[in-house]
């Protein structure tokens, strides 16, 4: 099934300058990700995985190359448009949960809705529904320090999806979790993917990567392996037609 293209990157490079030194972190990444895909990004530490995710999430920009997100050329978008895309189209999940410690679970989940201008009552009811869907009934008014790691990550996922994003970017979301909590979190990602949300997830663990249908292996700033036969098929067909 040929899906719609969500992410297209072409010859993506990223060079960090540190004084006199240049660090060439991404060295020409070309790939596309269709709507509805579940992609695992793997590879050794320092290979450029997080750098790639940050660019895809519009949190950072490439030094060179093209990036088209949802049919829009990201380099042509202004700061407000980028903020809007980040807030409404993309949900981020990080290894360290990144919840605000003084806010309750439900208040954390409400944050993206505040930025989106959703009225207070609707905010609360949507945030509560998200938490319940994540199996967090009874934990709504806990602050993060009173929640387990797995519970905190599920609050973070609720926050990531409360705006109904089309894309979830998760950078080692199970990296700080025990294996039972990790599996719970992966089952949630799988469910979200079944609902049609595109997921790109960085992991070092092959049993976590098994949940994805496609694997990208990064090494030294390049993709050295891509099992994305499904995604490449339309390109090949297009090429021979």
Q: How far is CA 228 from CA 12, 47, 151, 213, in A?
A: 18, 19, 32, 8
Question: What CA–CA distance (Å, rounded) separates 110 from 59?
Answer: 21
Residue 161 or 169: the one with the smaller Cβ distance to Mg ion is 169
Residue 23 or 235: the one with the smaller Cβ distance to ligand ATP is 23
Question: What CA–CA distance (Å, rounded) separates 142 from 3?
Answer: 40
Contact flags string 12-51 toward Mg ion, x per CB under 5 A: -------------------------------------xx-
Q: Contact between 174 and ligand ATP (CB under 6 A)?
A: no
H or E segment and range at residue 187: helix 179-194
Which range, of 3-11, 46-54, 128-136, 150-158, touches ligand ATP by CB under 6 A? 46-54
Residue 48 or 62: the one with the smaller Cβ distance to ligand ATP is 48
Backbone angles phi, psi at 129, to 5 degrees: -60, -40
SS3 state at 122: helix
Question: What CA–CA distance (Å, rounded) separates 83 from 61?
Answer: 13
Is 62 in contact with 221 (CB distance < 8 Å)? no
Q: Contact between 25 and ligand ATP (CB under 6 A)?
A: yes
Which range, of 18-26, 116-124, 154-162, 185-193, touches ligand ATP by CB under 6 A? 18-26
Binding site for ligand ATP (CB under 6 A): 16, 18, 23, 25, 45-51
Binding site for Mg ion (CB under 5 A): 49-50
């Amino acid at each position: 099934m040929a899906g719609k293209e969500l992410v297209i990157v072409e010859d993506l490079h990223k060079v960090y300058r540190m004084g006199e030194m240049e660090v060439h972190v991404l060295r020409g990444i070309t790939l596309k990700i269709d709507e509805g895909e579940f992609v695992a990004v793997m590879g050794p530490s320092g290979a450029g995985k997080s750098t790639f995710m940050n660019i895809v999430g519009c949190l950072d920009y490439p030094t060179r190359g093209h990036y088209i997100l949802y049919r829009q050329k990201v380099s042509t978008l202004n700061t407000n448009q980028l903020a809007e895309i980040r807030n409404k189209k993309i949900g981020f999940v990080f290894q360290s949960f990144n919840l605000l410690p003084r806010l309750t679970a439900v208040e954390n989940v409400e944050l993206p809705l505040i930025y989106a201008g959703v009225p207070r009552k609707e905010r609360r009811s949507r945030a509560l529904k998200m938490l319940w869907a994540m199996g967090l009934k009874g934990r709504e008014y806990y602050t993060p320090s009173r929640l387990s790691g797995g519970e905190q990550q599920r609050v973070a996922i609720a926050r990531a999806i409360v705006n109904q994003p089309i894309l979830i970017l998760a950078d080692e979301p199970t990296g700080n979790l025990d294996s039972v909590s990790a599996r719970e979190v992966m089952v949630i990602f799988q469910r979200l993917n079944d609902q049609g949300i595109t997921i790109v997830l960085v992991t070092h663990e092959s049993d976590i990567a098994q949940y994805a249908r496609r694997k990208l292996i990064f090494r030294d700033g390049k993709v050295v392996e891509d099992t994305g036969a499904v995604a490449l098929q339309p390109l090949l067909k297009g090429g021979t037609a």
